[in-house]
Amino acid sequence: MTRPDGRQNDQLRPISFIPNVAPYATGSVLVSFGDTRVICSATIEDDVPRWMRAQRVEGGWLTAEYSMLPYSTLERKPRDISRGKLDGRSSEIQRLIGRALRACVDLKKIGQRTIWIDCDVLQADGGTRTASISGGCVAMAIALNKLMAEGRLKQFPVKKLVAAVSAGVYQGVPVLDLNYPEDKDASVDFNVVMTESNEFVEVQGSGEEAVFSSEEMTAMLELSRKGISEIISLQKAAILTADRAAPADLASLTAAFGKR
């Protein structure tokens, strides 16, 4: 079996994190998983949701919003506002992003604040939710590092980094990090979220009018573990360099959209 882009079964697409692409956000990054590209930003507000104040819940909150821009797919995707409501897929994905990132941060340590994670898909070629989680974690860490540097936090609230990747069964073979042609034709599709300590945060998996064996599931989870370990190494490098990096310039952004 040969994959459409010639990768090995356990090989990720080229992945990059370019920090500081949105200067008015507290933290931001352009994440690329092959031809899937998402701008993830973290904005921190000194307030909490009304329900937290009413219930006197200690600490802060983290929430996420996700959207695919109209030109991110081959056929124009109408904006949610034109329908008057958020579509079901976007709602599911932004809930997933929020759950994944809340699992890795001590909300009590951020004080009476809300962390807003915004994920805007510029170009979709499979794996937009996993790219959003991985990029959202980087944007969040950059933002919280800024608050630490400004003396607004006493303790760093991120307990562990989290990342996500897809896996699936394509032409009868378990493979890692599906692009759109693979995702479209896969008989089984998994999305796996894990911490840097190899702990599972969430696993989403289903057969596409097909079934899968325990051996195939084990293989997909092991592929995901390997891929997430590699992604977290890239996340750490991006976070460490973000405070020394200038705002992303046109050359770096152009390179991110160049040939791979």
Q: Which amino acid is at 168?
A: G
Please tell me the distance from the alpha carbon of residue 36 to that of residue 252, in angstroms, as a whole number. 16
Residues 203-208: contacts with CB under 8 Å, at least 24 apart: 204/96
127 is in an annotated binding site: yes
Strand partners, 33: 15, 36
Q: Determine phi and psi for 112, rounding to 5 degrees.
A: -80, 70
50 is in an annotated binding site: no
Among all chains, which residue has been given the structure tokens 């890239």?
Answer: 234
Please tell me the distance from the alpha carbon of residue 221 to that of residue 166, in angstroms, as a whole number. 10
CB 85 within 8 A of CB 33: no
Annotated binding site for phosphate: 89, 127-129
Annotated binding site: 89, 127-129
